[in-house]
Homo-oligomer: A and B are copies of this chain.
């Protein structure tokens, strides 16, 4: 899996157990081929007639790297793969794939409510690892909006519920990039404007929140809780859901909010970032409280992911990079995240060693930092 001719210490550091600081639950139920194809694509549509979502970088990646874990030959055809998956059953498939990832702690975003998804604890059991929770602020808001009777209840409820949930979590998370874009007004909204907006919100609480004043209020409430509890806040950046405007997910547009948070000492962890990993790395370089994913979108970009790791490494301090698989929906994405991360970092280190740019001792030390050490420090694991 790794480049040949790496020094043993570097190879060992790359193969050491990882902390996966950014994953989601995977499906526990048996999946048809149509369901499986939808889960390996970020869009919400089947592939056009005559084509398949297997003919994608992630499709090629899972046929290569996941097939052998299910006792198939590498590059097994899609139909064979899906059939073998059904034969083994989802529980066994999840168990095998999550264990093969070599992860020691999963940090699981539990913000997508679906009884068919494994919980954080189940992810841990499946992967023979520890598991911790990341609380998604927008999901808390949805719960509060659906139960609050008045604007004041809504505002109090947000703070209370976030505080309660944060007690057993290791971080908070926001997906404001999907709802608002990252170029929102970074200031804390006035109480008056929040009450007015909350009253409107409570007249239609089932709707997904996409209102700027309330999203900003939610973010600032999450920041208050994070500061109180010493937790980092994860911010999704870069491409993702197809309802969002992709250019507004550029983390560079978050610079004003990052500056506003700097005096508060709350760590900001930029998730994903693809294809803006250089922008994310710049913020981590310029601001002491900003961190980023070490090469985003590994599972989705497959064989192309080494270049993304390299782009992150252009400017990011080595103590700011964290491994995250971005896994979601199917356990294949968790394993592919880990495989491509190790391969990409292995290539980057080998290039630096071959050219004499780094020492082997530094390479091993930095591999350990990015793979687990930085996450242990930042999330206080």
Q: Which residues of chain B are near A355, meaning CB under 8 Å?
A: 303
Q: Which of A300-318 contact B (CB under 8 A)?
A: 300-305, 307-308, 310-311, 313-318
Flag if B288 contacts A43 (CB, 8 Å).
yes
Closest to A183 in B: B247
C-alpha gap A366/B352 in the complex (Å): 27
Flag if B51 contacts A319 (CB, 8 Å).
yes
Q: Select the residue from A61, A310, A357 with max chain B CB neighbours within 10 A.
A: A357
Name A315's contact: one of B55, B301, B356 (CB within 8 Å).
B301
Flag if A314 contacts B304 (CB, 8 Å).
yes
Flag if B247 contacts A253 (CB, 8 Å).
yes
C-alpha gap A24/B295 in the complex (Å): 33
Task: Say yes or no for A11: interface residue by CB 8 A criterion.
Answer: no
Closest to A281 in B: B275
Q: Which of A12-44 contact B (CB under 8 A)?
A: 41-43
Q: Which residues of chain B are near A362, meaning CB under 8 Å?
A: 60, 75
Task: Say yes or no for A287: interface residue by CB 8 A criterion.
Answer: yes
Flag if B287 contacts A45 (CB, 8 Å).
yes
Name A75's contact: one of B278, B287, B359 (CB within 8 Å).
B359
Size of interface on A: residues with Cβ below 8 Å to B: 73
C-alpha gap A197/B253 in the complex (Å): 28
Query: Assuming A247-B253, A288-B48, is B358 touching A75 (CB within 8 A)?
Result: yes
Copies assembled:
3
C-alpha gap A280/B315 in the complex (Å): 19
Measured CB to CB, the closest approach of chain B to A149, in angstroms, equals 36
Among A89-97, A112-120, A238-246, the one that faces the other chain is: A238-246
Task: Say yes or no for A57: interface residue by CB 8 A criterion.
Answer: yes
Query: Assuming A75-B362, A279-B246, A319-B51, is B313 touching A304 (CB within 8 A)?
Result: yes
Residue interface mask A232-267, B partner, CB < 8 A = 1: 000000010011111100101101100100000000
Task: Say yes or no for A342: interface residue by CB 8 A criterion.
Answer: no
Additional A-B contact list (7), CB under 8 Å, known A247-B279, A302-B357: A55-B317, A60-B358, A246-B283, A274-B278, A274-B315, A301-B315, A304-B315
Query: Residues on A close to B: CB < 8 A?
Result: 41-43, 45-48, 50-53, 55-57, 60-61, 64, 74-75, 239, 242-247, 250, 252-253, 255-256, 259, 274-275, 278-279, 282-283, 285-289, 297, 300-305, 307-308, 310-311, 313-319, 351-352, 355-359, 361-362, 366, 369, 377
